[in-house]
Structure 1
Amino acid sequence: METFRLANGDNIPVIGTGTNTYGKEGNQYNGELNDDFSALQSAIKAGYRLIDTAISYRNEAGVGKTIYESGIERKEFYLTTKIPAKEEYIASKELVEQTVLQSLENLKTDYIDLYLIHHPIEDKDQLKQTWEVLESFVEQGKIKAIGVSNFSIEQLELLKSFARIQPVVNQIQSNPHTWNNEIIDYLLKNDILPEAWSPLNKVTEEQTAKLTEIGEKYGKDWGQVLLRYQIQRGVAVIPKSHNSEHQVSNLEVFDFELSKEDTTMIESL
């Protein structure tokens, strides 16, 4: 697995698996928890080591149990989770601390590789106190890196103005429906890794046809072309599938490189 180097010197896999519908009835985000993590098991078997979860997914504990029971050493995995921007988690420093400690317990680990603020915290004081607690866990070695998710340039600038430890990742939507090019350019210039959630979602039939046409040159399908495009421009990707064949094919993107002509075509979609 290829990696990107983060600003703190750590390496993060360029492809991970999302988990927001794993362990749930009907594979639905809001489905009842059913402890069926066979999709995560097959993803791990396929070779995924960056595992992305969140408190709001309600399945941290199931994700942690599945990883623990995989028989693969903890150091082989790169675990990401996220704290919600909700009062019940961030109203005080004590609540933030309790939340992080609960994540460590849920994930059955003594450290988390990457801890994100899931959505912008609009109140500056709350943002500052939440970040300070995350920084303290980094200093304790219980979190290796900290970052954010769904933050705008303005929100990142605010965070950077008081952060002692700068964010290393901003996880954002990026796909043909919403490329988010402006913020991706900003992130790359500021040594913050852009990480794309839903990189294969919201693709129209017309876009799929064009991507398929490009893929034929390389012996790849449209999804592989789309993932390769993001990786080539320095964006980590977090696709998710319940299909073991799709999980495998999403990893088969390291044996070709898109031409400048093809990347230009994809940018115009």
Structure 2
Amino acid sequence: MEFVTLNTGIQLPIIGSGTNTFGKVDRAYMGEINGDTTELQDAIALGYRHFDTAIAYRNEAVVGQAIKESGIDRSAFFITSKIPGTKEYTQDTEAVKKGVHASLKALDTTYIDLYLIHHPWEDLEEIVAVWRVLEDYVDQGILKAIGVSNFEETELRYLLDHARIKPAVNQIESHPGKWNDEIITYSLENEVIPEAWGPLTKVSEEAQAVLTEIGNAYGKTWAQVILRYQIERGVIVIPKSHNKERQALNLALFDFSLTAQEKATIQAL
């Protein structure tokens, strides 16, 4: 595994696992929580230590349970969760605190490695007010790092201008056809590490064909080529799979490198 060093000095694995359909009936995002930790246990056995969840996913407790069941010390894991950008969690200091403590309880942990504002909203001053509460939890050591998700340049710039603690991560949608290059570049320029959610989604057949041809030279799949492209440009990836074999493939990215021409071809998809 390779690691990215956040602006806090903390290191996190550059590959993690998304979890938004884990522990749910029919593996559906809105499915009822069934507490099944099978996919998480498979991922842990393969070597995954970075897991991404959120209050909105309703399955923080499933992630926490899987970590307990693994028998591996909590300190070996990097857990990301997120507080929703909705009034229930943002309207005042107590609402923010309620969210943080709900996450801690569900995950059954005394600290969270990275805590994100899940998405922005129009009131930028209120975003800063929420951020200041999260900063207090960093001061207490309860949140080791804080960041944002789905922030565009306007929102991220405003937060950077008003924050005492700089966001460590900006988790954004990034995949072929929607690389989101501008916000990735802006984030990197400001020492905010970009993280791609849904990195293997919405890939057209045409794009798959191009990526497969590139991958054939290395004995890699089109999906591995996408993930390698992202990590080579400094983007954390959190692919998600319920299949153990594909989980393993998503980790097998460190035995090849893309040429400049290949990266240019991928960037143009």
Q: TM-score, structure 1 length as denominator?
A: 0.98
Aligned residues: 269
Q: Tell me if 1:174 matches 2:179.
A: no
Decide whether the 8 Å contact of 2:168 with 2:193 is kept in 1. yes
Q: What one-letter code is carried by the residue in structure 2 that aligns with 1:179?
A: W
* 1:171 alignment partner, SS class: strand
Equivalent position of 1:3 in the other structure = 3
C-alpha distance in structure 1 between counterparts of 2:105 and 2:55, whole Å: 12
Equivalent position of 1:263 in the other structure = 263
Equivalent position of 2:128 in the other structure = 128
C-alpha distance in structure 2 between counterparts of 1:220 and 1:61, whole Å: 35
Aligned-residue offset at 1:126: 2.0
C-alpha distance in structure 2 between counterparts of 1:38 and 1:187, whole Å: 35
- Please, which runs of 5 or more residues in structure 1 have no aligned partner? none
C-alpha distance in structure 1 between counterparts of 2:121 and 2:76, whole Å: 32
Q: What one-letter code is carried by the residue in structure 2 that aligns with 1:251?
A: L
Q: Tell me if 1:24 matches 2:32.
A: no
* 1:82 alignment partner, SS class: strand
* 2:67 alignment partner, SS class: helix
Aligned-residue offset at 1:243: 0.3
Decide whether the 8 Å contact of 2:228 with 2:257 is kept in 1. yes
Aligned-residue offset at 1:67: 1.0
Equivalent position of 1:195 in the other structure = 195
C-alpha distance in structure 2 between counterparts of 1:240 and 1:76, whole Å: 20
C-alpha distance in structure 2 between counterparts of 1:232 and 1:48, whole Å: 19
Moved runs in structure 1, 4+ residues, more than 6 A? Answer: none
Equivalent position of 2:39 in the other structure = 39
* 2:145 alignment partner, SS class: strand
* 2:113 alignment partner, SS class: strand
Q: What one-letter code is carried by the residue in structure 1 that aligns with 2:262?
A: D
Aligned-residue offset at 1:224: 0.6
C-alpha distance in structure 2 between counterparts of 1:258 and 1:35, whole Å: 40
* 2:144 alignment partner, SS class: strand
Alignment of 1:46-85 (within 5 A): 46-85=46-85
Aligned-residue offset at 1:124: 2.6
C-alpha distance in structure 2 between counterparts of 1:199 and 1:58, whole Å: 22
Query: RMSD of aligned C-alpha atoms?
Result: 0.8
C-alpha distance in structure 2 between counterparts of 1:261 and 1:128, whole Å: 42
The sequence identity of aligned pairs, in percent, is 56
Equivalent position of 2:89 in the other structure = 89
C-alpha distance in structure 1 between counterparts of 2:262 and 2:76, whole Å: 34
Q: Tell me if 1:218 matches 2:209.
A: no
Q: What one-letter code is carried by the residue in structure 2 that aligns with 1:167?
A: P
Aligned-residue offset at 1:49: 0.6
Aligned-residue offset at 1:110: 0.9
Q: What one-letter code is carried by the residue in structure 2 that aligns with 1:73?
A: D
Q: What one-letter code is carried by the residue in structure 1 that aligns with 2:194?
A: P
* 2:36 alignment partner, SS class: coil
C-alpha distance in structure 2 between counterparts of 1:219 and 1:182, whole Å: 31
C-alpha distance in structure 1 between counterparts of 2:49 and 2:121, whole Å: 29
C-alpha distance in structure 2 between counterparts of 1:124 and 1:196, whole Å: 23
C-alpha distance in structure 1 between counterparts of 2:230 and 2:241, whole Å: 18
- Please, which runs of 5 or more residues in structure 2 have no aligned partner? none
Equivalent position of 2:139 in the other structure = 139
